[in-house]
Structure 1
């Protein structure tokens, strides 16, 4: 089935958000950003970050890593570039404009692919994850952090109860963990190794998927 892309619409939205994004999300997402960077670095030094945005995760990557960040929005990337050039993100080697589903990068180039707070916004999440797998080395890891909902259990009920409030601040429980599990099972060459709660109160999740050697 063909996927309809509104990339220009997304770019316009990101252009509006770019001047305010850091002020809104810097403190709220700091825990998630730090843990995402550390989880990616555990897989090895060469890291691709998809959806780098204004570069809020970039300063968290530990010494010795080599990070390339890509994003759809030039306006977001300008702020990520400023962090790189100012020395605030010393492990960053490059930031560049790319579509997550059409990465202009070589096969098996990275030890880890970090996907912070973007998988629920990509028009074709499975396509983006397929691209992440393409550029990932065997044994490497995809690290996803986002607002990911459960299908069943007590947490699913809590998420359903607070969904109207979360919708007002732009978050949704509509994107389910099971969707990523189904993608991994359908491929067969990637293993889900971790689902961990992130601040605040586990509302955000970190998922780690390892590409089989």
Structure 2
């Protein structure tokens, strides 16, 4: 997939306050339709440590969790059985694999797997204790709208955990990003989204930023709704 196919164009992100490429929703859905049959084989082991790190960061008393961009449901078996999990995604092909996983692995704590836009869900206010966003914020067309929706969905004091690769200004991670830019575009990722842009989002108290796999290439950001 070339850059035009990835649907990249310049826009102003209100969450970040800096120019960033805009990803078109249709292009992201089409990209993941192509990746769905092989996604687990290609990215399963590569990203599994990051997924486990994120789930383990959830407080033990977390009740209901919403996972944005649940994809093939590859992270669902990692959740403790006493946490009730709902997963949403825009890719029907990915979601069908996730539903098969829930059935085959008898994941009874998974409440629902739904085709839904993360920036405009149908859930009531304050429905969840935690929102998990694994490799999502670099894919969604309008991160500021998704963050606003997350704030609406979380109860007061609820936690947001974001796992992704974020753009770096320099050093080895910046070089790594440059080398893997074609792959990121093929996945529909916006490799320019920075951790700093998310930390500046209104209505969220930033808690921590820590390594989450591949020697710090992936990061785990944690926030609390205020």
TM-score (norm 2): 0.83
Secondary structure at 1:201 match in 2: helix
Q: Determine whether 1:87 maps to 2:132.
A: no
Which residue number corresponds to residue 205 of structure 1?
Answer: 219
Secondary structure at 1:127 match in 2: helix
Equivalences for residues 131-142 of structure 1 within 5 A: 131-142=149-160
Unaligned runs of 5+ in 2: 1-10, 14-21
Deviation at 1:77, TM superposition (A): 0.2
Q: Conserved in 1, the CA contact under 8 Å of 2:131 and 2:154? A: yes
Which residue number corresponds to residue 167 of structure 1?
Answer: 181
Q: Conserved in 1, the CA contact under 8 Å of 2:73 and 2:95? A: yes
Q: Conserved in 2, the CA contact under 8 Å of 1:113 and 1:136? A: yes
Q: Conserved in 1, the CA contact under 8 Å of 2:210 and 2:220? A: yes
Unaligned runs of 5+ in 1: none
Partner Cα separation in structure 2 for residue 66 and residue 165 of structure 1: 39
Deviation at 1:88, TM superposition (A): 5.1
Pick 1 or 2: higher relative contact order, CA cutoff 8 A, min separation 6: 2
Which residue number corresponds to residue 179 of structure 1?
Answer: 197
Secondary structure at 1:55 match in 2: coil
Cα gap change, 1:42/1:132 in structure 2, threshold over 3 Å: closer, same or farther? farther
Deviation at 1:8, TM superposition (A): 2.5
Partner Cα separation in structure 2 for residue 172 and residue 11 of structure 1: 14
Q: Determine whether 1:76 maps to 2:76.
A: no
TM-score (norm 1): 0.88
Partner Cα separation in structure 2 for residue 21 and residue 53 of structure 1: 9
**How many residue pairs get matched?**
204
The alignment's C-alpha RMSD in Å is: 2.1
Deviation at 1:22, TM superposition (A): 0.5
Identify the match of residue 124 of structure 1 among 123, 142, 146: 142
Identify the match of residue 98 of structure 1 among 113, 116, 133: 116
Secondary structure at 2:46 match in 1: coil
- 1:156-212 deviations in whole A, cap 9, x for unaligned? 3222233332224327752111110221xxx2x321101010111000000000112
